[in-house]
Structure 1
Amino acid sequence: MVANEGAWHTCALQAERIIRDCADSLQHGRADVRDTLIQQVAGLGVQRATQGIDAVHSIRAGLLLFDIVFDALGKAMVNSPSAFDGFQAGVRTLQRGIGRRLEAGALGHDTYLLNTVREVNAATQRQLAREIHDHLGNHVSLALRRIELHELTWESRPDEVAARIGSVKDTLTESLGIIRDLVTQLRRADREGTLESAFTAFLESMEITPSKVRIQVNGSEEWAPQDVLDEVFLVVRECLRNSLAHAEAEHVLAAIDIAPYKLQALIEDDGRGFDVSAVAVAGKANGIASATERVELLGGTILFTSVPDAVGTRVTITIPLMDLPGDSVERAT
């Protein structure tokens, strides 16, 4: 948090308030924490979350502050052994001041994450609604129109009837395929078994052959939490669907590498490229926005690389799984 000037300023302010409470407790011999100041920390939790600062850094900063102030209180006790009551009050105030602030910050952080998840789910629902309207609705309307034309020409032009019936059948068959695709999306990764088996089941449900989509999962899934694996499955599945449905790719590769400290995923296709920035500006990037928010909620990054009128799109996902060895309290501050 030292690198973030705003976060560092708020840390210093909270530390100053805690130390001031400890000093008052030493003087009066009773624990005293000003709760009115703590209520402001919930807003800081939201602010830190929006800045991408994980709550663990606040915990480490609190632990570091506790060590520093506790040592100072201990030295004060050595210099004045008769002030034991003040020492006890100071330690209690220190613990309560830090603990209550961490609790308030965590509540604010959780509130932000919950609201973000709701926004992601709402965006997904809007995307599905648009898919139903734009694709399924158009296909069904077209099929109904052809049936109406068939009724008008049944007697006057019987030779055209067979061709139109076949066309209606093809349209309805395609509509059923769209319905099956949407239903598959709505079954939010009731992911059973490994990632690889989950992707295999998804491809089989979509009747996609292994020669068209190749899945590679390297490393042990035990290194990654289940919620991370679930979200990665959802994001990669959406990328696969986009490659096949929108880019009209002939071949797609999805490679997922799981290491003890990091998960990386790469999705590449040979379909039509697109202008990522233009799509976002045009408001047609719900899929990109949803994937980005899901990955960022896990503390990761996602990069879409594509060029209009060119072949292929690449999606790169990186998610940290835990802190690197040697990460310490001092490093966090």
Structure 2
Amino acid sequence: MRRGWADVRGTLIQQVEGLGTERATQGIGGVHSLRAGVILFDLVFDALAESMVAEPAELDRFQAGVRALQRGIGMRLEAGALGHDTFLLNTVREANAAAQRQLAREIHDHLGNHVSLALRQLELHELTRESSPEEVAVRIGAVKDTLTESLGIIRDLVTQLRRAEREGTLESSFAAFLESMEITSSKVRIQVNGSEEWATQPVLDEVFVVVRECLRNSLAHAGADHVLAVVDIAPHSLHALIEDDGCGFDVSAVATGGRANGIASATERVELLGGTILFTSCPDIGGTRVTFTVPLMDFAGDSVESSK
């Protein structure tokens, strides 16, 4: 502030990228860094504002301090996000590589073995078809049986490869919920990003219940015209956002007034999964925003590779 210009040291910014990767390794999502940045800004801004009370003429220095604060937090969040994204991309690549290795093993151990057996039976048939004509029908039948089993293995492998293309459990559940409530996509829009194979079925079930109850509250109590729900599933964490343009409410007043059964239930479900949830709303401005993050420690490929 004494210099009168924003001073953000690049050496500290570079350290944050490694911190972003480290936090991602621990299953801590980027949303927590955003919340920390908001808290840090509020605290330092209040301290700067208090310093202006004693020296109201130092407006330039106050502006420089706020600018340095905003720029420093922004640059750190950006660097941390890059580190977090790098970790996720590497994790996805490792999961895909594990799936490919598993597929290679299935082809080699099962399909390759059956094809080799069929080929051997044909070779034996060529050697004995003239000397032992009575064995021809037996060997031809054995070849047919082996090839039939090979076709079954091929169908199973193709089914596994196409599994990711089918509609996920979470998406189909949301679609059925909206259909049962006769809610149109223009009023409620739901997006599920990422692969549901990275989350266990019990986790997906709990996430569906929490999001569904938030949607019901937005439609029944908030009088919202539009509601958005987004569920992002990454290899190590699941993040959800539910936002509406309704009347809003005083979160603390509801929590202390004994009318927070919905908030308490959602909070309990998320915390039992090891996650965190945040409710943000204001009756004066309107609108309600719910965000929650759940760590995912097991994802497709872990069980295959970790068993080695």
Coarse TM-score class (shorter-chain normalised): 0.5 to 0.7
Letter in 2 for 1:260: V
Whole-angstrom CA distance in 2 between matches of 1:197 and 1:299? 14
* Of 169, 181, 185, the match for 1:195: 169
TM-score by length of 2: 0.62
For 1:226, the equivalent position in structure 2 comes to 192
1:87 equivalenced with 2:62 (yes/no)? yes
Unpaired runs of at least 5, structure 1: 1-25, 199-215, 237-254, 263-293, 301-317
* 2:216 counterpart residue number: none
In structure 1, what is the Cα distance between the partners aligned to 2:42 and 2:175? 42
- Partners of 2:126 and 2:102 lie apart in 1 by 35
Q: Which residue of 1 aligns with 2:122?
A: 147
In structure 2, the residue matched to 1:42 is 17
Give SS of 1:155's match: coil
1:310 is matched with: none
In structure 2, distance between residues paired with 1:109 and 1:177: 42
Normalising by structure 1, we get a TM-score of: 0.57
Answer whether contact 1:42 1:108 (CA < 8 A) is retained. yes
1:168-221 per-residue CA deviation (whole Å, 9 max, x = no partner) reads: 1111111111112222223352224x63998xxxxxxxxxxxxxxxxx999748
Q: 1:183 to 1:328 in 2, by over 3 A?
A: closer
Aligned residue for 2:132, secondary structure, equals coil
CA deviation digits over 1:264-289, x for unaligned, max 9? xxxxxxxxxxxxxxxxxxxxxxxxxx
Instruction: Name which of 210, 215, 219 aligns with 1:260.
Output: 210
Match of 1:81, SS state, is coil
Contact 2:17–2:82 (Cα < 8 Å) also in 1: yes
1:179 alignment partner, one of 146, 150, 154: 154
Task: Note if 1:68 corresponds to 2:46.
Answer: no
Does 1:125 pair with 2:96?
A: no
1:285-308 deviations in whole A, cap 9, x for unaligned?
Answer: xxxxxxxxx8752349xxxxxxxx
2:27 is aligned to 52
Q: Which amino acid aligns with 1:231?
A: E
Taking every aligned residue pair, what percent have the same amino acid on both sides? 61
CA contact (8 A) 2:115 2:147 kept: yes
Divergent runs of 4+, >6 A: 216-219, 221-224, 233-236, 318-322, 326-329
Between the aligned partners of 1:35 and 1:295, the Cα distance in structure 2 is 30
1:130-171 per-position Cα deviation (integer Å, ceiling 9, x unaligned): 100000000000000011111111112122111111111111
CA–CA separation in structure 1 for the residues paired with 2:5 and 2:25? 37
1:323 aligns with 2:268: no
Paired letter, 2:18? G
Letter in 2 for 1:34: R
**1:139 and 1:172 in contact (8 A); partners too:** yes
Equivalent-residue separation in structure 1 for 2:157 and 2:102 (angstroms): 10
Q: CA–CA distance in 2 between the matches of 1:160 and 1:197?
A: 56
Letter in 1 for 2:277: D
Give the partner amino acid of 1:297: H
Once residues 108 and 135 of structure 2 are traced to their aligned partners in structure 1, the CA distance between those partners, rounded to angstroms, is 30
Going from structure 1 to structure 2, the CA distance change for 1:178 and 1:134 (only over 3 Å counts) comes to same
Which amino acid is 1:71 matched to?
D
Letter in 2 for 1:298: S
The RMSD of aligned alpha carbons is 3.5
Please give the alpha-carbon distance, in whole angstroms, between the structure 1 residues aligned to 2:66 and 2:171: 53
